[in-house]
């Protein structure tokens, strides 16, 4: 497979990745996406893209974190392959790249959460990538 994985560091690069990211984060419009990435960067958030023939085929957003239960680890906030390129190994290649990056940075684990409805993604993480289901994530909306 001919592809190139690179970190996207500029607003113009983020904008190129946005159409693919939008397939996962459907609620985000371009301006909000750029604003959030800008705000998240000082907290360690980084975006990487797998490029195939000059086009973004898959995107991931990650951050190195430290906490009491995983220690030093890489957290995958976002991982999405363009609909047109699914089942071509792009997600596997990009996530494997993140595993290697995490090792280089001294991380002992890579962690992520995935929405309950994303059954195909769960199968990918568990069966293809060797992830274990360890917990449930809970969220409470705070109104007013």
Residue (of 63, 78, 86) closest to 22 by Cα position: 78
Residue (of 83, 86, 82, 95) closest to 128 by Cα position: 95
- Helical (H) or strand (E) element with 61: strand 55-67
Q: Give the number of residues written for the chain.
A: 144
Using one digit for the tens of pLDDT, what is the confidence trace for 55-85?
Answer: 999 999 999 999 999 999 999 999 999 999 8
pLDDT over 90 (residue 92)? yes
Specify the 3-state DSSP secondary structure of 85. Answer: helix
CA distances from 57 to 9, 49, 54, 81, 141 (A): 17, 7, 9, 6, 33
The whole-angstrom separation of Cα 136 and Cα 116 is 9
Using one digit for the tens of pLDDT, what is the confidence trace for 13-61?
Answer: 999 999 999 999 999 999 999 999 999 999 999 999 999 999 999 999 9
Which residues pair with residue 66 across a beta bridge? Answer: 72
Residue 55 phi/psi, 5-degree rounding, is -115, 150
pLDDT over 70 (residue 1)? no
Specify the 3-state DSSP secondary structure of 142. Answer: coil
Structural domains in the chain, CATH included, are 4-128 (3.40.630.30)
């Amino acid at each position: 497979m001919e592809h190139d994985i690179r970190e996207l560091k500029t607003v113009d690069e983020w904008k190129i990745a946005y159409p693919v990211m939008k397939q996962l984060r459907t609620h985000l419009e371009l301006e909000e996406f750029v604003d959030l990435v800008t705000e998240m960067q000082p907290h360690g958030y980084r975006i990487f893209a797998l490029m195939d023939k000059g086009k973004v085929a898959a995107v991931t957003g990650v951050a190195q974190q430290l906490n009491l239960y995983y220690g030093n680890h890489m957290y995958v906030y976002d991982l999405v392959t363009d609909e047109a390129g699914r089942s071509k190994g792009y997600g596997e290649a990009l996530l494997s790249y993140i595993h290697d990056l995490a090792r280089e940075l001294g991380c002992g684990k890579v962690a992520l959460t995935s929405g309950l409805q994303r059954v195909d993604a769960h199968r990918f993480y568990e069966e293809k990538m060797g992830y274990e289901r360890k917990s449930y994530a809970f969220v409470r909306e705070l109104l007013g």
